[in-house]
Structure 1
C-alpha cells in the first residue's frame, strides 16, 4: 500500500513538471515536433488596412509548484483502507462485521462437546459452530470454561457466543436463569421427551388410556417424571436414581417403557442399547417442561450478530449441512 502511495506521488510530480514545461512554451515529450512548432506561438492575422502590428499571443506565466499541488485530488489514505468495517449508527462495536468468532463451550458433555483421546475438541456443538463460522466467513476459535462460568465469561467479554447445549430459558424451565444481558438464537436442536421400549415388545398407541397400568421407568425428580404424572396419570411410574438405572431396568425387562430426553435415548439406542431397545411413539414437546430447545447465547448488545447467526443456521438446515453433522452423532435428526 505504501508503494502505491509513493508511485502515485511520483506520477503527480512528473506530470507537474510536464505542465510547467507546457506553460513555458516547451513541447511536451509525447507531442511530435510539427505539432510542437504550431503550438509554440500563435500569431493573429492583421485585418486589411489596420495599422496595428500583429502581436503574438504569449503563454501565461507558469504555475508555481504550490499552485500545481493545490490542484491535486486528495490521495487515498492507506490507514483508512486498512480499517475494518465500522458499526452502523446505533449498533454496538461488537456487533459489526467480524473476522473472528470466539465460542465458549464446556468440553465435557459428549456427544455435544468433549475432548477426544488426542485432546482435540469435538462434538455436535463444536462441528455446528465451525459450520456457522464457515457460513459467516469468520475464523472460529473455542475457549473452554466450566458450565457455571460460561455465561459470566460471555458477559466479561471473554468470548462472542456460548454453544454448549444450553437450554433457552422459558418460564418453569430456566437453566441458565433468564438474564436481561443475554439473548439466545433460535433453537439449534430440540429437547422433547420420548419413550423407549424393548425391541421385541408390542405396545399400544402412546395415549393416556392405552398406557394405563403400564410400568414406565423415569428418573426421580426429573421434568420427565413430572410430565408423565400429568400426561399419563393411570400409568405406573417407577422412579430410579438416574437415567442410566432407568434404561438398565428397561433392558432387563423390569419395566415396559422408559420416558426420558429424546436425544439421550437416541444416543443410547444407537450405541450400547441398540441390541435391546428402540424409540417408540412421538416426540413430546412441552416448553414448560422440556424447554424450547438449545440455543446459542450472546450478549444482548449483539443483536445484529444474533440475526446473522439465525440466518446462517437456517441456511445450514436448508442445504443439508445440519443433517450431515447430526448423522455423525445421532441415528435421527434432533432439529
Structure 2
C-alpha cells in the first residue's frame, strides 16, 4: 500500500520528537527497549514514531519489519514515503536508516493497543536473528477536551488544593521489582500497560514528554512498584503513596505479590494506582477506569483496560490548574 505524500504533509505537525535506537554489531545488537507511543483521533493519522537503525556490523544488514496479523492499523513508512505492513531495508556497514511508524483506525470506542512489532535481521554472512520492539497505539474520539472537571470525579488533593506532577521532572523513571517475586518477563506487559496507558493519555492532552519511563534498576528510578504487598491490609490490592507536604513527594506504589489475583485485574489496579500518583482520585461513574470498583470485562483481555473520555477530561482539567501543589520525585 502507498500513501500519497500529501498525507505526510498533513500529519507533519504530529511528529514525535523521540525515537528508538537499534545498533547492530558483528555478534550482537543493542536497543533501548522504550515503547513506541502513538496517539490520535479515530479516522486520523497518529503522531509518528521513529526507529533509528545503526549498522556497526562490518557488513551489509537486511532488516524486514512486519506487524503481527491483528495490528493492521500500524504502518511502516520508508524513505520514499511508501507505507506498508511489511518493509525490507538494506543498510550498508556504517550506515544509518530511520524508519517511521504511524497508525490509523477508522472508529470504535477509546482503545489502547499494546503489542510488539517484529524485525527479522539477516547479516551479510547469512546469519539471522529476530527481535521485537514494544509499540502502543491509543485511539480516541475527536471531541475537544475542555478544562472543566467532570461531575463526580475527585482529585487527590491536599488542604483543598489539587496536586499534579511537576512537569520539569517528567517523565518519572519507574522501576518494577516483580522479577523478585517468582514471575518472569511474561509479567512485563502488565507493567508496560500501566506506563503506556498514562503516557498515551499525556500525549492526548499535550504533555509530549509522557508521565512515566521504565527504569532498569532501583538505583536509577524515581519511584518503585513494589510487589511485596508490604503494608497492605485486608483486601487492598494496591496502594500509591505521596507525602502530605508541599511539594508532595512520590514514595511509590505497593502491590500484592504476582499471582495473588487475576493478572488482568492486577493490571487494572496498577493503572489506577499510577493514576493516583498523577494526582487523580476516584470517579463515581462505574464506566471510568478510575472508579474504585473492579471492571470484570477488563479481566479477560488486556486491551480492554482503557481510559474513558471522562478519565482523559479529568486529567486535562487537573493539569490545566495553575495553583496545584507540585508532585516531585522523592530523591531527585
Q: Same fold (TM over 0.5)?
A: no
Q: Which has the higher strand share?
A: 2
**What is the TM-score with the length of structure 2 in the denominator?**
0.23
Structure with greater helix percent:
1
Give the TM-score normalised by the residue count of structure 1.
0.23
